A and B are shown apart, each in its own frame.
Chain A
Amino acid sequence: MAACGGPGNPRAAAGPSTVLAYIIRRLFAVVVMLLVITLVTFGIFFLIPKWVGVDPATYFIGKQADPASLEGIRKKMGLDDPILVQFGKFLWGLVAGRDYANGTDVTHCSAPCFGYSFRNEQAIWPVLTDRLPVTMQLAAGACVIWVVVGVGTGVVSALKRGSALDRTLMTVALAGVSLPIYFTGMIALAVVVYGLGWIDGQYVPFGESASGWFGGMLLPWVTLAFLYAAMYARMTRATMLEIMGEDYIRTARAKGLREPVVIGKHAMRSTMTPVLTILGMDLGALVGGAILTETTFSLPGIGQAAVKAISDKDFPLILGVTLIAAVAVVVANLLVDLLYAVVDPRVRLS
């Protein structure tokens, strides 16, 4: 309350502190949600081997291993412990790191320990931190492109409703939502990289060469963004058409405002709210799109690691990727929710 300064209308003064309470509530919910996700993921990987009758130890060192080494890994990983004990150790490892020990054979995994891949003789966390930036660059770049292009297209289409431009844009958008990523991605690769040779399709880290990085990321961005841009264009157009018929748009005109202000300020302000809502959900679903895009363009990101981990049956890596993806989704949703509270006073003040 002190933050808002001075006495005021109690309802208006409640603003900032309500926002803070809201953020704290949400953060608490996020922590609980992450715990549940971890437990469920953990449970699945714990239970599946039992159901299908496979020794979980083989997930760590392979089926061909001799019984002695299997027994060793079982001991080292604590695979015979009850699930809650294993879960507790895992959580503790996240916070403080842990040692996988079988007598004198000790493998250290420093915090945050997301597990250890005995297949590849490496801790999971460094693998994730290595790859996460690539995926985040892919997602962030694509997100910017699709929001700008999608919303822009939708607005133009709505304002030019029924025109040839509107029909063309909406046909492209329909194609966009119908075509799978690997199809548009492959075509883009074939045309731009192999056919025209405009850019080199290889991933280059930003630190090595900014232009090389941009060239390498451009196609993945555009390919991933295309699908979403198309969906956003259709959604924005529909929302915009609805909002242009609202009474408060008529009021804005009745004030004598110029049409660009009516659209750019009054209509856009309302259009952004549903766009944000959908964005929160899509950032979660983006994981699937990222896997496909990274595979198509050989980007060394989380998605590619996930595909590789699954084909290798590298249990700890799958668990790590699942968790990091869950964290990303939850955090993205949190950010969007907070943004939503800023944008919509009715959410903030109720």
Chain B
Amino acid sequence: MTDLPIQKSGTGADSAPNEPVAGKAKPTAFLEVRDLKVHFPTDDGLVKSVDGLSFQLEKGKTLGIVGESGSGKSVTSLAIMGLHRAGQYGRSKARMSGEIWLEGRELISADPDEVRRLRGKDVAMIFQDPLSAMHPYFTVGAQIVEAYRVHHDVSKAVARKRAIEMLDRVGIPQPDKRVDDYPHQFSGGMRQRAMIAMALSNNPDLLIADEPTTALDVTVQAQILDLIRDLQKEFGSAVIIITHDLGVVAELADDILVMYGGRCVERGPADKVFYEPQHPYTWGLLGSMPRLDRERTERLNPVKGSPPSLINVPSGCAFHPRCPYAELTGGASTTVVPELSEVGSRHHAACHLSAADRERIWTEEIAPKL
């Protein structure tokens, strides 16, 4: 069954995205998000970008978050970075609730300045578009030096050495020369490498990569993903990698979390979610994925319909307007919000379908077409 290589970095402690423990008990996981809600009041109504998300991540492990555009992936990562509170001019202020525990510290209720000091040092992030994510008027080196010196009381010369060392490490040729280039003098792939160098310069415990390859050429994409994988092994950081592409995380991640409309619809070990998915939305994502490992027999099969409104979220299961199997649940799909429930070892899905129905649909209708 496993005809795709699944990367695993050691077995270690059980990094299962288990059901969160109730109450404010200190968790044992490295990162634990409990019932995270991020809502934005807007003129049109309350946008529920993230609405009750929970997961765990252990040190040295990789969590892949997948979901289509607007499912709340970036909002989740910015919440972990504490960036919703840093104020976003021109955008409405976020209302947040729930808990984000990082190494025993709860971040949502923490002092903003304390969270700021963690930012870039304990948690670092790389963004989708490396060109717009770098300041056009400062050299690449100056931007890495700045990132390093926020958290290290060293001279500019020392920080510059560190910047060159990091650029070298991420594979920039002639790093001692290119350190003085401006971002527009770098190619797209080099820019993303430089962003990675900047993010890793402080040796963070957690690296969040928000669609790090979407803006890049296909050939460069694979290189960047390889780089992230290598660096994770070397630095031992936990990684959250966000993408539209289930194939990317299947290769890279230990666990996969599938988001739909600001909620988690399925999560579990990467090979389980990839090879034995239990949620109709995950089936749709798999169907829309070009797969190189087998001859394609039928046309790509993207999930039909448009993403749900986050203001007037569909009743019951938010996926029901697009779900071909909603009628099989005796009306529950349109009236009752499905909770995550165990569908296998460390494997959870939020769907009203019976185990027998899921099994039948997967083996008879979905799997043969992939």
Give the B-binding residues of A (Cβ under 8 A). 8-9, 11-12, 158-159, 161, 240-242, 244-248, 250-259, 266, 269-270, 273, 343-346, 349
Contact = CB atoms under 8 A, between A and B. Distances in A.
B120 A256 contact: yes
Contacts of B132: 246-248
3 closest Cβ pairs, A-B complex: A244-B89, A256-B120, A9-B177
Contacts of A12: 177, 180-181, 185
Given A241-B89, A244-B89, 7 more contacts: A9-B177, A12-B181, A248-B133, A252-B135, A253-B86, A343-B137, A349-B185
A245 B137 contact: no
A246 B137 CA distance: 13
Q: How large is the interface on B (under 10, 10 to 19, 20 to 34, 35 or more residues)?
A: 35 or more
Interface stretch (B39-47, B121-129, B282-290): B121-129
B89 A345 contact: no
B83 interface: yes
A162 to B, nearest CB: 10
A343 B182 CA distance: 13
Contact of A270 (B137, B150, B151, B180): B137
15 contacts: A9-B177, A161-B89, A245-B89, A247-B129, A247-B133, A248-B135, A254-B120, A255-B120, A255-B150, A256-B119, A256-B150, A257-B120, A257-B146, A269-B138, A346-B182
B147 interface: yes
Interface in B130-146: 132-139, 146
A9 B127 contact: no
B174 interface: yes
Contacts of A255: 119-120, 146-147, 150, 198
A252 B121 CA distance: 13
B81 interface: yes
Contact of B119 (A161, A254, A343, A345): A254
Contacts of A246: 132
Contacts of A270: 135-137
Given A248-B132, A251-B135, A241 B90 contact: yes
B86 A259 contact: yes
Interface of B: 78, 81, 83, 86-91, 116-121, 124-125, 127, 129, 132-139, 146-147, 150-151, 174, 177-178, 180-182, 184-185, 195, 198
Contact of A248 (B89, B121, B134, B150): B134
A175 to B, nearest CB: 25
A126 B178 CA distance: 55
A158 B90 CA distance: 9
B111 to A, nearest CB: 14
Contacts of B135: 248, 251-252, 266, 269-270
B117 A256 contact: yes
B177 A250 contact: no
Given A241-B90, A254-B119, A256-B118, A11 B133 contact: no
A19 to B, nearest CB: 14
Contacts of A159: 89
A257 B150 contact: yes
A11 B83 contact: no
B180 A9 contact: yes
Nearest to B91: A245
Most chain B CB atoms below 10 A, which of A244, A245, A258, A345: A345
A159 B180 CA distance: 32
Contacts of A251: 127, 133-135, 195
A247 B285 CA distance: 28
A240 B89 CA distance: 9
Contacts of A9: 174, 177-178, 180-181
A8 B177 contact: yes
Nearest to B132: A247
B215 to A, nearest CB: 11
